[in-house]
């Protein structure tokens, strides 16, 4: 067998997005985990349908990969409505927003991922759309400028962000329903993995699924990605089931340790400990030192490292904990 990671991943990485869509649950009762959110959403959706009204605007916030996009599609399905999807970073002008809003039908869902990345001018146009179901655009310049008002049908805006505090207060206050997405328990991840194995028609042993669940950072997206990589590894070795040996070998191959940390996680911790000598440091500085974007480090890596107790947030900056030193087999004297 060629021991080459690029060859190993060549035919699988490009299919990740396609797989995510194929294994995504479409109804609330199919969604595993986030039980409190499901209960509340079921009440709000049922009441809205009885009143024959669109659901109030919803904001989901929390680390990436916890199901914010999935829940937006589930709400659309449960409300028997259409859905339009966009990203906050792509809505740079009021006209970009108006182009989508003007195509909505009554009761439709408009989902904006990374809504905190919207241009502030676009956010201000969104205020009236959310409250009054109308938008006003200024057409032309100077003395020829005029205001065009467009009436909109009732719709549900669903926003997703890693941190609700990143939104401007006026925008955040216009959401009637706010949900914080939490990391999933190992048992919930276990159930998700077995569901994925059924959908993709490749069985997995209980011990193997548990091993993956422990390394999935409490995140379904990561769990499903690891499942596919371990499945590929098992198939490459001629197996028809994912067993514990294949799982451990694949995790070693992918350099994902027992806490679910990958090379970047460990590099972050080592940079904090060795380069900055364990002193408080900003994540922006750490990101620059390792060649990653600050947004990626802060949104994707830091929350989990804080959650499992490897990093502490202090008024002076971030510091690696004793647990981090022990996990990396480093001493504070190094």
> Three-class SS of residue 314?
strand
Domain-terminating residue out of 196, 219, 254: 254
Instruction: Reply yes or no on whether 221 is catalytic.
Output: yes
Domain-located, residue 59: yes
> 174, 215, 217, 221: which is the annotated catalytic residue?
221
State whether 170 and 219 are in the same domain.
no
pLDDT at 19: 57
Beta bridge partners of 139: 146
> 108, 113, 265, 299: which is the annotated catalytic residue?
113
Instruction: Reply yes or no on whether 29 is catalytic.
Output: no
Q: pLDDT tens digits for the chain (334 residues)?
A: 444 444 444 444 445 555 566 678 889 999 999 999 999 999 999 999 999 999 999 999 999 999 999 999 999 999 999 999 999 999 998 888 989 999 999 999 999 999 999 988 898 889 989 999 998 876 767 666 677 788 899 999 999 999 898 898 999 999 999 999 999 999 999 999 999 999 999 999 999 999 999 999 999 999 999 999 999 999 999 999 999 999 999 999 999 999 999 999 999 999 999 999 999 999 999 999 999 999 899 988 999 999 999 999 999 999 999 999 999 999 765 5
CATH assignment of the domain containing 319: 1.10.10.10
Instruction: Reply yes or no on whether 69 is catalytic.
Output: yes
Domain-terminating residue out of 224, 254, 284: 254
What number of other Cβ atoms are within 10 A of residue 262's Cβ?
15
CATH assignment of the domain containing 113: 3.40.50.300
> Three-class SS of residue 86?
strand
Domain-located, residue 24: no
> Look-up: residue for tokens 């809505």?
91
Whole-angstrom Cα distance, residue 286 to residue 223?
27
Instruction: Reply yes or no on whether 51 is catalytic.
Output: no
State the pTM of this model. 0.85
> 68, 172, 217, 229: which is the annotated catalytic residue?
68
Domain-located, residue 135: yes
State whether 229 and 92 are in the same domain.
no
State whether 124 and 250 are in the same domain.
no
Whole-angstrom Cα distance, residue 294 to residue 284?
5
pLDDT at 4: 44
pLDDT at 73: 96
State whether 168 and 51 are in the same domain.
yes
Instruction: Reply yes or no on whether 215 is catalytic.
Output: no
State whether 73 and 154 are in the same domain.
yes
> 70, 156, 161, 162: which is the annotated catalytic residue?
162
pLDDT at 331: 77
Dihedral (Cα; 125, 126, 131, 134), 10-degree rounding? 60
Among the listed residues 49, 157, 155, the one whose alpha carbon sits nearest the alpha carbon of residue 104: 155
State whether 164 and 232 are in the same domain.
no
Do 119 and 153 touch, CB atoms closer than 8 A? no
Domain-terminating residue out of 254, 286, 314: 254
Q: Which domain holds residue 169?
A: 34-180
State whether 176 and 191 are in the same domain.
no
Domain-located, residue 25: no
State whether 127 and 162 are in the same domain.
yes
Domain-located, residue 29: no
Do 284 and 294 touch, CB atoms closer than 8 A? yes
State whether 175 and 65 are in the same domain.
yes
State whether 279 and 232 are in the same domain.
no
Beta bridge partners of 134: 151
Query: What is the number of domains present in the chain?
Result: 3
Domain-located, residue 27: no
State whether 203 and 162 are in the same domain.
no
State whether 294 and 217 are in the same domain.
no
């Amino acid at each position: 067998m060629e021991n080459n990671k690029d060859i190993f991943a060549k035919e699988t990485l490009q299919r990740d997005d396609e797989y995510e869509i194929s294994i995504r649950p479409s109804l609330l009762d199919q969604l595993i985990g986030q039980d409190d959110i499901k209960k509340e959403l079921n009440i709000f959706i049922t009441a809205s349908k009885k009143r024959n009204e669109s659901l109030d605007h919803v904001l989901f916030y929390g680390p990436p990969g916890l199901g914010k996009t999935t829940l937006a599609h589930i709400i659309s399905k449960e409300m028997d409505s259409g859905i339009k999807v966009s990203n906050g970073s792509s809505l740079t002008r009021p006209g970009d927003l108006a182009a989508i809003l003007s195509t909505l039908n009554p009761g439709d869902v408009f989902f904006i991922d990374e809504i905190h990345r919207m241009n502030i001018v676009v956010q201000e146009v969104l205020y009236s759309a959310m409250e009054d179901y109308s938008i006003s655009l200024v057409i032309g310049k100077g003395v020829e400028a005029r205001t065009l008002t467009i009436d909109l049908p009732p719709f549900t805006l669903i926003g997703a962000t890693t941190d609700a505090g990143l939104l401007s207060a006026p925008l955040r206050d216009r959401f009637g329903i706010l949900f914080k997405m939490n990391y999933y328990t190992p048992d919930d991840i276990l159930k998700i993995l077995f569901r994925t194995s059924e959908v993709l028609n490749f069985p997995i042993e209980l011990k193997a699924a548990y091993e993956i669940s422990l390394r999935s950072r409490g995140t379904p997206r990561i769990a499903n990605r690891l499942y596919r990589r371990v499945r590929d590894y098992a198939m490459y070795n001629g197996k028809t089931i994912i067993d514990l040996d294949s799982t451990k070998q694949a995790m070693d191959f992918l350099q994902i340790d027992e806490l679910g940390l990958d090379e970047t996680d460990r590099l972050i911790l080592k940079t904090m400990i060795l380069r900055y000598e364990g002193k408080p440091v900003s994540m922006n500085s750490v990101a620059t030192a390792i060649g990653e974007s600050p947004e990626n480090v802060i949104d994707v890596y830091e929350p989990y490292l804080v959650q499992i107790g490897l990093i502490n947030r202090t008024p002076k900056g971030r510091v690696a904990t004793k647990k981090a030193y022990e996990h990396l087999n480093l001493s504070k004297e190094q």
